[in-house]
Each structure stands twice: as C-alpha cells, then as structure tokens.
Structure 1
Amino acid sequence: MSSNRKIAVVLKGYPRLSETFIAQELLGLEKAGHELVLVALRRPTDAKRHPVHDEIRASVYYLPEYLHDEPLRVFRALLKSTPKAGFWRALGPFLRDLWRDRTRNRFRRFGQALVLAAEWPGDASWLHAHFIHTPASVTDYASIIAGIPWTCSAHAKDIWTSADWELSEKLGRARWTVTCTRNGFEHLQSLTAEKSRVHLSYHGLDLDRFPVFEGDHSRRDGSDPGDPVHIVSVGRAVAKKGYDILLKALSLLPADLNWRFEHIGAGDLTGELQTLADELGLAGRVSWNGALDQKDVLVHYRRSDIFALACRIANNGDRDGLPNVLVEASSQRLACVSTSVSGVPELLDDGRNGLLVPAEDPRAFALALERLARDPDLRRRLGGAAEERVRAEFDHHSSVRQLIGLFESEWRNAP
C-alpha cells in the first residue's frame, strides 16, 4: 500500500488490557493491508498485555502526557508550527473551545496536537481518533495545523461525558464518525446536520480467539456447599460497572444458596469494593484476581456458571456502550445477567438469551442471580441462545470490513 494511505491512529493510551476491541480492530486493518502508526497520549500502565498486542506491527509513538514533563519538546513544536498557516487556522477553534472549557486539559490537548503536527510520525496522510473526547480534540487540532483529514471512532464514556457543543463541532469537522451502540449513534446523529457521516458499527469479537467451547458448563444448583455455583465478572473497578450494586446483590442471596464470586480487573475502586465486601460479610466467598490477559479470562469463562455485570450510569454521565466482556462471555455459552443500560439490550434479550434487570436495583439483581444459580437448564438454554447470536451477528470481521469500506471510499473520492 502506498504511503499516502498510511493512517495515524490517535489513542488515549496503548496498549491497554481493557481495550481489546481497539487492538483487534487495529490488527484487522493491518491484515487488510492498511499501514498504521499508533500515536498514544499516555504510556501503558498495565503490567500485562493481550496476545493481540504482540501481533500488531505498527510502531507506537508517544506524545508528552503532561506538557510540563517535556517543555523543550513542546517549545520546539511551537516554534516549528507558528510559521504555518495551519497553526493560525487552528488557533481560532482552540480559543473558542478554551472560552467554553477553561481547563488545563484544553491547553494540554492543543500542546499535544502541536507536537504531533511538528514531529508527524510515520509520514501518514490520514488521522483517525479512537474516542471522541480527548484523543479527538488532539486529532482535530492536529488535523487543522497539518492540513490532514481526520475521522473518529466514538464509544461510550467519551460520548456521554462530553458537552453537546463539543461533540457537534467535532462531528462537523471529522470526515465521518463510527460508534458502537444504537443509542450512541442516535445521540450523535441528533447533534449534527450531516447525519450520513455518522455510522453504527458494533465492535464484534475475534471469534478465532474465542472458539466454540467444546465442553459443558456444570450443572451446579447451589445446593452443595462443597461445589458452589461459580459467578464471574470481568471489568474495571470503576463506578459505571456497578460492582457495589453487584456485591449488595450477592449479600441478598438466600443462606441456603452456595456460591462463589470472582472478579477480574483492576481499577481505582478496588480497595473500596474489597472493604464493602468485608462489611457485607462476603470476604470468604469473593476472590479478587486483578487484571488478567485474554487467555486466562477465557479459562474463567469456561469454568464458571454465571457472568454478572451490573452496568449503571455514573453520576458524571459515564456509562458503558456494549461491554465487550458480555459478548466474550456469551461466545462461551455462559449465561449472563446484566442491566438495561446503554447498549446491553442490543445484545441481551431478557429471558431469551440472558437476564436483564433495572440498574441500581440490588434486589432485582439478586433475584436474577438466584434464578440462574438454581436452574442449570435455564443457564444452558440462555447461554446457548447467547452464543448463537454472537456467532451470527457479532463477528468483528464485519465491523472491520465496514471501517475499511469507509476509508476506501474516502481515498477513491480524493482528488
């Protein structure tokens, strides 16, 4: 592929264990022949990596996370940029944004954009941002400075914690934007006159990494203290995942129901959740595994009986889109219970291929958990239907093909 089709992909951080869907998309683009260079605003903080990260060939380029950490680099970028007409064109949108968002982060985004435009890694001629909040701000400013077109993938938190004015202006300047849930898609379309430039594209799953589970899930029913029902959840310990609700639900389960719960994931609230589990008298039944790689997570899906995720809308508006872990668990015929938040009902149909309860309702969540725990036949029916839907409708190859088609359409129509 010629160098004029190389894409610089701007990411908040790379690599990240919690963003497997992005990594598999990057790999899919590479396998289709697209040359990439990755531009990250933060260096990795996870101690582990997924196997997919080792398969991605693109070089990774890091911008200064904080401008005061690399002042000379930022100053050199400023000196190099000020003679360019693009710098002065970008200054207007930046100052208008700053007037409405008077924060240090706004200066940081513009400074990162200056460095990106001045150092321009990989001789790319296209910019693509993953997330429409911070990465898209950097990408938008850099696009104006460098005169390079840009596009965007919007997901969940980035949509729902961004001001409508900012989303509207970014949608107007990006060539197109894809997003991964219908409610996110409808919200973004409502903010732009160019509705045809917003596209719905489910992430999907790399089913080669989540092959058909040839074994059988157990027929535990919670009656045997020596063989309790295994409940698992995978997700960061952050407010929108609702782990406090899930722990409270577990505390409401009947005394005669035998169960164990395993949490997989890291996050700022881990300590608080462990304290809450102790206060609720659950410590002996709960295991905290921390972050695990994809292969280890797959093992947990296959040996568990129920997958639980109590998604909620956090106080700051943050929420999940369609959590990829629900798709992963479903691919392994694991019966899921979750909440009717955001894109979750776009995968799980209550009573047909999973159980859904209202958010913020520990008692309703406990009743759903008990129902699944006591009825292995129900688990088998729901899990089988969930896997069938995932393998029919959530193969990530379709989303990658859609993305490739959007890029190819731009390049075919370019002067």
Structure 2
Amino acid sequence: MTSANIAGVDHVAIVVKGYPRLSETFIAQEILGIQQAGIPYRIVSLRHPTDKKRHPIHGRITGNVDYLPEYLHDEPLRVLAGWWKARRMPGYRAAMAAWWRDFARDKTRNRIRRLGQAMVMAAELPADITRIYAHFLHTPASVARYGAMMRQLPWACSAHAKDIYTSPDWEMREKLAAMDWLVTCTRANVDHLKALAEDPAKVNLLYHGLDFSRFPEDWPERPLRDGSNANDPVIILSVGRLVGKKGYDDLLRALAKLPGNLHWRFVHIGGGKGEKYQALAQELGFADKCDWQGPQDQAEVIAACQKADLFVLASRIEKDGDRDGLPNVLMEAQLCGLAAVSTRISAIPELIRDGVNGLLVPQRDENALAVALQDMICDPAKRIAMGQAGNDIVRRDFSFHAGMRELGRRFGIVTVESPEITGTDNITATRQE
C-alpha cells in the first residue's frame, strides 16, 4: 500500500527554476525521496536544462516534468491558451490583483514572465493536484503563488540562500503571509525569515542532509602527505560553481601566499566561466598546480573526495546579498572523511566547528585563509582526526531521512515501515490525522 491510495495525502506540483541541474543535487534528492515515500507528484520547471551531464539520481526520478514557456514570446499561443483558461478560474481576479500590486513595486519583464508562466501552469496542471510546492522563494515562489491563487490551492515553499538574501523584504513578507508553511535549510535562514513573518510558526528548519546510502561507508586510508614531497603533493579539493559568492579569487590569492617549499595541488570541480580564474592562477604563477575539471556528476565528486586530502570553500557575501547557505558539498566532503577550511558566513558554522572538523576564517581574508591552509597542509594527523569528526557530525546531525520524514508529514503521510528512504520505491504510509 502506498500513500497514493490513502485519503488526505497531497498530490504535489513541485515548481523549480530549472530541471535537472547539476548544482541542485539537494532538490533531486528530495524529489526522489518524495517519490519513494509514495507521494504523487509532478515537476514544473520554469527553464529547460542546460547542463550536459546529469547526476545518477536524475535517472531514478520517474515523475512527469512540465516545462513552462521559458520566454513568453517563444510560445505565444500556449500563453494565450493559458490566459484564456485561467481567466475563468475562481481565483483569477485575486491573483491579478496581487500581481498588479507586485508589478507596481517591480516593473520588470521578469515579473510579467512570472504571471504568464503562472497562467500556463494553472491552466495545464491536472485536476488531481492538491498542493503547489516551490523550491526557492524568489521566481519559483512567485509563479507558485499566482498559480495557486488562480486554482485556489494551498501552497508551500522551500527557501535556500540567494532567494532569501536578494529578495525584497516586502515580497517575502507577502509570500509568507500567503503560503501555508515554509521550510529552510539553516538556522540562520530561519531566524531571518521568522523576523519577517506575521506568523513565525510558518517558518521551519529542515536541513537538506545527505542520503548516506549513496556514499561509501569507508574512505580510503589517506597517505600522510605534509607538503614536503614535490612528487607527492597534498591534494586540495574544492567543488562549486565559478561565481562570485564562492570566493575562488580569494582562494587563489591565498594559495599564492603559501610558502614556495610547500607542495600542493589544487583540484576544482564545478561549472561556470573558468577563464578568468585560470587566468588569475596563471598571473599568480601556479597554473601548473591547478586541475580545472569542470562540471561533474555526484559519483565523480565522491570519487574526487576519496582521493583528496583537504576540502576548501572560501564562500563570501556579495554586494547584492547573494551568499551560500549550507553548501551540500561541505557535507559530502565531510562524509568522505575530509577536513574542511571554510569561512564564517551564513550557516557554514552550523556544520564546520572551528578546530573540531575543520578551520573557519573570516570571509575575504586571504591572509587568514593562507594561514589555515598552511596549517592543514602541514599536519596530516590533524586533517585525519578532523575528517573523522566531520563524518561523525554529518551522520549524527545531517541525515536526509530525518528531514524527509518531516516533509512527508507536511504532505500528509507518516512512514511507518522503514526509518530510511532506501533504493526501493515501496514505503508504507498512513494518513496524517
């Protein structure tokens, strides 16, 4: 018996900005968890995929994917048909009134596109959908809000990082007032959003966590590299998109400050425009020590973690407020037994405890970052001890399955047979009273 056969379980439309995306493993992991819990769902994507690779997890997700018009002028007849049907819906006038209020404060093409996409979604969603659930509080939540109003459906949201800190307060307040509930992945986010909400009880902490079954239970015995052997350098790994908030220019400048007799190799995995960072490494005189591997799937990232000695992520807050929340790659590295060097921003200190499972430095501080890197490179025993501590912390506090049970409860089920989502798709559920 699955939840699809039980009264009271939501049939969910999951609104995402793009699907599938290599940089959003946590969303794919959650969707698979929803599928395995037996919750009926379909994915509604505002954009078509652009990544050339897919994670293995995407191959296990079997739900329907509806792609909305990415640009309204590309599919004018579809947009017109959506409007023609949406205008007859009982909540259409209320949705339009909300949109006009928003447009008065945000006169952008993007705001118009959100309305057009919402009309198409409202018109095309199957009749059995009972809830709309958006990932990210900015654009996807706008489409979810307008569409839910048109269809007179309840809606909810999962908020993350950039969507919170680059959205205007007025818009977040109004969305929080309109939705049933919101989950977000860090305590820092919870505190920020509770301060904006009329009803703070709507805002709840839900760590993304990791599905441990996708990771090796053991990691290889790492050589005690200490940077003294030019033929066996310490391998420093970083995984992240080559965008400003990841601080890769800060990291490269910190690496340039390391002593010349210290031997290391920098491996980067992630998409983005790498030319300027490669040029910076060339300018700083150590391009030959860098291995720019580009986008990789999760299995390849795990393999790289297994080979590395140290993980580093120099996250920072950008001028527009954009920042990391709690990057999944930090959890993945820790689960693979890697000590981490990172920065004291957002929720990173919720995972990395300075001196316990890694070292934390102030953001944008190249000198402090260089000192921390040198300390870790030269002390393999410390790295190994911190890596073990990190693995213990992730396994204790950041299990995906605990969060998935909570999310399942919000969608109307309680899993009773299995404490964990497994590789099968059969999990018995009971109605949430």
TM-score over 0.5 for the alignment? yes
2:259 and 2:56 map into 1 onto residues whose CA distance is: 40
C-alpha deviation, 1:319, in angstroms: 0.4
Partners of 2:88 and 2:106 lie apart in 1 by 27
Are residues 1:170 and 2:175 paired? yes
Identity %: 51
2:134 corresponds in structure 1 to 129
Q: In the alignment, which of 61, 78, 82 is matched to residue 87 of structure 2?
A: 82
Where 1:5 maps in the other structure, the secondary structure is: coil
Note the alpha carbon deviations across 1:112-167, whole angstroms, 9 max, x for none: 00000111147312100000100000000000001111010000100000000000
Contact 2:315 2:324 in 1 (8 A): yes
2 CA distance for matches of 1:276 and 1:328?
Answer: 28
Where 2:291 maps in the other structure, the secondary structure is strand
Of residues 259, 271, 289, the one that matches 2:275 is 271
More off after superposition, 3-12 vs 313-322: 3-12
Q: Which amino acid aligns with 1:32?
A: A
2:208 & 2:216 partners in 1: Cα distance?
Answer: 17
1:257 match: secondary structure: coil
Equivalent residue in structure 2 for 1:298, among 297, 302, 327 = 302
**Structure 1 stretch displaced more, 4-13 or 91-100:** 4-13
Specify the alignment match of 1:382 in structure 2: 386
Choose the corresponding residue for 2:356, options 352, 355, 375.
352
Q: Does 1:408 align with 2:412?
A: yes
Kindly state the Cα deviation for residue 278 of structure 1 after the two structures are TM-superposed.
Answer: 1.1
1:322-358 deviations in Å (ceiling 9; x for gaps): 0000000000111100000101000011001110000
- Note if 1:111 corresponds to 2:112: no
User: Segments of 4+ in structure 1 off by > 4 A?
Assistant: 409-414
Q: For the residues of structure 1 that align with 2:90 and 2:33, how far apart are their CA atoms?
A: 36
Question: Which of 26, 48, 54 matches 1:49?
Answer: 54
Q: What is the aligned length? A: 413
How far apart, CA to CA, are the structure 1 residues paired with 2:126 and 2:231? 58
1:21 and 2:26 correspond: yes
Q: Which amino acid aligns with 2:275?
A: G
1:223 matched to 2:206: no
SS at match of 1:236: coil
Query: What is the deviation of 1:413?
Result: 8.2
TM-score by length of structure 2 reads 0.93
Quote how far apart the aligned CAs of 1:91 are. Answer: 0.7
Residues in 2 aligned to 1:346 and 1:271: alpha-carbon distance in whole angstroms: 33
**Which residues of structure 2 form unaligned runs of 5+?**
415-429
Tell whether 2:188 aligns with 1:183: yes
Matched with 1:67 is: 72
In structure 1, which of residues 312, 317, 320 is the aligned counterpart of residue 321 of structure 2?
A: 317
Whole-angstrom CA distance in 2 between matches of 1:293 and 1:348: 24
Q: CA deviation at 1:394?
A: 0.7
Shift of 1:255: 0.4
Q: Is the 8 A contact 2:219 2:306 kept in 1?
A: no
2-structure distance, mates of 1:278, 1:139: 46
SS at match of 2:91: helix
Q: Which amino acid aligns with 1:97?
A: D
Q: 1:397: which partner in 2?
A: 401
| Displacement after TM superposition at 1:211 (Å) | 2.5
Asked whether 1:11 is paired with 2:11, we answer no
Q: 1:150 aligns with which of 147, 150, 155?
A: 155
- Unaligned 5+ segments in structure 1 are none
Q: Compute the displacement of 1:309 (Å).
A: 0.2
Amino acid at match of 1:294: Q
Counterpart residue number, 2:421:
none
Report the Cα offset of residue 393 of structure 1.
1.0
* 1:213 aligned residue: 218
Structure 1 residues 228-307: aligned runs within 5 Å: 228-268=233-273, 270-307=274-311
Deviation at 1:408, TM superposition (A): 1.5
Check the 8 A contact 1:182/1:343 in 2, yes or no.
Answer: yes
Distance 1:412 1:175, change over 3 A: farther
> What CA distance in whole angstroms lies between the structure 1 residues aligned with 2:154 and 2:431?
14
Distance 1:293 1:238 in 2: 19
2:339 aligned residue:
335
CA distance in 1, matches of 2:362, 2:190: 22
Q: Which amino acid aligns with 2:29?
A: Q
Deviation at 1:214, TM superposition (A): 3.9
205-214 vs 384-393, greater mean Cα deviation: 205-214
The code of the aligned residue for 2:236 comes to I
- CA shift, 1:212, in A, is 2.1
Name 1:102's counterpart in structure 2: 107
1:175-222 deviation digits (Å, cap 9, x = unpaired): 000000111100100001211111001110011111222421221100
Q: Is the 8 A contact 2:265 2:289 kept in 1?
A: yes
For residues 186 and 219 of structure 2, the distance between their equivalents in structure 1, rounded to whole angstroms, comes to 30
Instruction: Output the amino acid matched with 2:197.
Output: T
Residues 194 and 200 of structure 2 are in contact (CA less than 8 Å); yes or no, is this contact kept in structure 1?
Answer: yes
Q: CA RMSD in A?
A: 1.6
TM-score (norm 1): 0.97
Give distance in 2, aligned partners of 1:257 and 1:8.
53
Q: Is the 8 A contact 1:327 1:390 kept in 2?
A: yes
Contact 1:74 1:115 in 2 (8 A): yes
Q: What is the alpha-carbon distance in structure 1 between the residues aligned to residue 399 and residue 69 of structure 2?
A: 36
The 8 Å contact of residues 37 and 121 in structure 1, kept in 2 or not, is answered as no
CA shift for structure 1 position 412: 6.6
Distance 2:125 2:179 in 1: 19
Q: Distance in 1 between matches of 2:343 and 2:279?
A: 24
1:361 to 365, 374, 377: 365
Instruction: Give yes or no for contact 2:10–2:412 (8 Å, CA) kept in 1.
Output: no
CA distance in 1, matches of 2:253, 2:59: 39
Distance 1:307 1:214 in 2: 15
Where 1:208 maps in the other structure, the secondary structure is: helix
